[in-house]
Amino acid sequence: MLRTHTCGELRAGHNGQTVTVAGWVDKYRDHAGIVFVDVRDRYGKTQIKFDLSDSSDVQALARGLRYEDVIQVTGMVEPRPEGLANPKLATGEIEVLARELVVLNKSKTPPFEPDTSALPNEELRLKHRFLDLRRPDLQKTIIMRHQLTKAVRDYFDEHQFLEIETPILGRSTPEGARDYLVPSRVHPGCFYALPQSPQLYKQILMIAGFDRYMQIARCFRDEDLRADRQPEFTQIDVEMAFVKREDILQMIDGLIGRLVTTLQGKQIKLPLPRYSHAEVMERYGSDKPDLRFGMELVDIKEIATTCGFGVFKSTIEKGGRVRGMRVVGAAEKYSRKQIDELTEFVKNYGAMGLAFFRVKSATELDSPIAKFFSAEDQAKIITRLGATTGDLLFFVADTPKVTNAALAALRSRLGKELNLYDPTEINVAWVLDFPMYAWNEEEQRWEAEHHPFCQPVEEDIPLFDTDPGKIRAQSYDLICNGYEAASGSVRIHDPAVQQRVFNFIGITPEHAEERFGFLLESLRFGAPPHAGIALGLDRWVMMFGNIDNIRDVIAFPKTQKASDLLTGAPADVDSKQLRDLHIKIDAPKT
RNA sequence: GGGGUGGUAGCUCAAUUGGUUAGAGCACCGGACUGUCGAUCCGGAGGUUGCGGGUUCGAGCCCCGUCCGCCUCGCCA
């Protein structure tokens, strides 16, 4: 070992001991006769003192130290003089009087320092990720990620789950996200697909009899990125055989409870609250609402139908909805100009406009469109929204889909702008009974809302022939602070039902046999009822770290264009490699 | 593919209506300093204003194109 102690562990109790520490030069303060150097490693910082009375070699060397040099220092632990302890440092009671100094690696002048309070732009940070990762807060997150992952493994291990690896090179299946493809050298013109999730493998593990499976599984989806989405990400993948939905919910409740206890030392109230999909859509306009604050959506169909405002009235006549929300005490917080900006904001979600009212009194509204509403209607709106003087009311009149999207986005934005919640709170809940299928207007066909292996609610099965949009899935999402934090379902274990579902979403029996034949075949050989779930590990780290960007919870993340600025991936390859793979490039001219 | 936003010294930022030699703090280099901990003080060096074109007597600033980062819609079973 090149050290006897880390930079975070020396205390007054070590006084008088000769120690060796090693780390990076975090700061240096050169007073000529005396030089202070803070050495940093992942455990903390320790102040090293170089004194004129020491050997001149060491002293001269010390004066040449610069940021990020890696050094090894041997010396004696001393108490700091009276009144000079540094309360900001855990090791602030002591310093090490250096006797020997070895520069293990001299650093070039770094483009930025790890302790910088004003973060450099992200491009630079990602390009020099080895420096960025030295930042204490990023190190803290990566360490917490490890603790979370370990707690997950411990929890499932205690419940007799087996961690089983599944292939990274698999086969492409229809439906779902765009696959990342890997060309086969041995099979010209054929490709492996990287897994979007281990879904089919884990179902087959159930059929094989490994009735409790989990895996910290890397998944790949070739879709556009977001602040909470990376092309490769990690799922806590779980599957159980001989269980019902309730068993999964309880098992995962226990996991969340464990994580909150382990990572925060707190208790979370269990069981976690449960909502139906229909309920959250009606109350919040989203299938993953942020439940840290209220501001629920209100339908004013009755008033809209009879009021004098043409936009509201005609929307109802066309089968649309008029819904709104009450922003408590915000009448004076938003100027006309700011409301115009909110109007532009909701237009991004398809809304044609945003109606607003300031509540002037218990019965009176103030708005450019107030004249279209009778005194009676104004009073009704106030009553319906439960509003009081000084509130601000917003309404969107549009299709059900657009009112949901626009109002949910507006609610989320206002909640943040108005600080309606504690940003450090972790609010977790279940959303159950998603619809099985959604009509794809573009492709004119039904498609699976969750995935095609999900079991419909038994009593809804007759609806296949009458009203497929109403069929509920035996599915469940875990939502947390406005994110989808987990998603799962009871699976189909009857090949006939599976065949029928494929058929319904437009996969012909021949096609199904070709692409999913292995699953259908396995279902014919004694498939137990099974169910499972996958939790987004990266997102849970975001929650527990109170971090709003997924790149900050991943050691080596990719940019929005899916590039790795550290390594330069993706990059072109030798023509020989392409020949081996029987691939010719037909890239668009730039 | 669409919308928004940013790119000026190594870094973080500034630069009035288009107008003189593009500034500051930190970092870097040289010097001073025995108790600092965002050390301080003195001095110095450092710029193809992302890139390409255009308008203009004159462009960091205006116009067109393009590249890159970020946010977002679509997309993400």
Separation of A33 CA and B43 C1' (Å):
21
Same domain, A507 and A410: no
Q: Return the SS3 of A565.
A: coil
Same domain, A515 and A455: yes
Q: Which of A483, A506, A527 is the last residue of a domain?
A: A527
What mean pLDDT, rounded, does chain A reach?
Answer: 94
Nearest residue to A179 via CA among A187, A166, A170: A170
Separation of A588 CA and B54 C1' (Å):
27
Separation of A561 CA and B67 C1' (Å):
13
What share of chain A has pLDDT > 70, as a percent?
A: 99
Arithmetic mean of pLDDT, A461-465: 88
Arithmetic mean of pLDDT, A50-69: 86
Separation of A340 CA and B63 C1' (Å):
28
Q: What is the pLDDT of residues A490-510, one digit of tens each?
A: 999 999 999 888 888 888 888
Looking at the C1' of nucleotide B12, which residue has the nearest alpha carbon? Answer: A118
Same domain, A461 and A512: yes
Separation of A348 CA and B74 C1' (Å):
11
Q: Return the SS3 of A342.
A: helix
- Tell me the nt nearest to A348, Cα to C1': B73
Q: What is the pLDDT of residues A295-322, one digit of tens each?
A: 999 999 999 999 999 999 999 999 999 9
Q: How many domains does one find in chain A? A: 3
Separation of A120 CA and B59 C1' (Å):
28
Q: What positions of strand B are covered by protein, i.e. any atom < 7 Å from a CB?
A: 1-2, 10-13, 27-29, 32-40, 66-77
Low-confidence winner among A110-124, A236-250, A344-358 (lowest mean pLDDT): A110-124
Same domain, A378 and A312: yes
Looking at the C1' of nucleotide B6, which residue has the nearest alpha carbon? Answer: A121
Same domain, A386 and A304: yes
Same domain, A310 and A343: yes
The DSSP H or E segment spanning A206 is: helix A199-207
Sign of the CA dihedral A215, A216, A217, A223? Answer: positive
Same domain, A346 and A460: no
- Tell me the nt nearest to A173, Cα to C1': B77
Looking at the C1' of nucleotide B41, which residue has the nearest alpha carbon? Answer: A31
ipTM score here? Answer: 0.93
Examine the pLDDT at A116 and tell me if it is beyond 80. no
Examine the pLDDT at A443 and tell me if it is beyond 80. no
List, in sequence order, every residue forming a beta bridge with A473; answer none if it has no partner. A456
For residue A309, the enclosing domain spans: 293-417
Helices (H), A90-198: 122-127, 129-132, 136-158
In a domain, A383, yes or no: yes
Q: What is the pLDDT, as a whole number, of residue A55?
A: 65
Look-up of token digits 């996969």: A507
Separation of A417 CA and B22 C1' (Å):
37
